[in-house]
Amino acid sequence: MSHRENVQAVIDGILKREILETFDRYYADDVVMSENGVDERVGKAANREYEEAFVNGVTFHGAEVGDVVVEGDKSVVEWVFDLTPNGGDRTLQKQAAVQTWRDGRIVREVFYHG
């Protein structure tokens, strides 16, 4: 698959609410992820644990995708997530996911939000 096709496959998986399955398929073993570029989480195991906590901590109502930019080994996806945190109020969470890809997998992802 091309880089653009891989980016679209990740988007499609999230929209189908297959977040953990998509993570398992498209994230590298040495992936580094962070929120707003701070407190980096290193490695697939640590990041999957973080993703599991997110998935289990919200009711996911849906998502919308804004702009998608694919250039070289980089991609940026604008998201609006409609969710309700456990014990909280329904909200729209807006973020941009900036990704670096290698060999068909994400090796770095920074979520910019807030």
pLDDT at 48: 98
What is the average pLDDT score of the chain? 97
Q: What would the pLDDT profile of 36-92 be if each residue is shown by its tens digit?
A: 999 999 999 999 999 999 999 999 999 999 999 999 999 999 999 999 999 999 999
- What residues are paired with 82 via a beta bridge? 62, 92
Predicted local confidence at residue 2, as pLDDT: 95
- Phi and psi (nearest 5°) for 34? -160, 165
CATH annotation of 3-113: 3.10.450.50
What are the backbone dihedrals phi and psi of residue 89, each rounded to the nearest 5 degrees, phi first? -100, 150
Burial of 15 (0-12, 13-18, 19+ CB in 10 A): middle
Confidence band for 20, pLDDT divided at 50, 70 and 90: very high
Q: Where are the domains of the chain?
A: 3-113
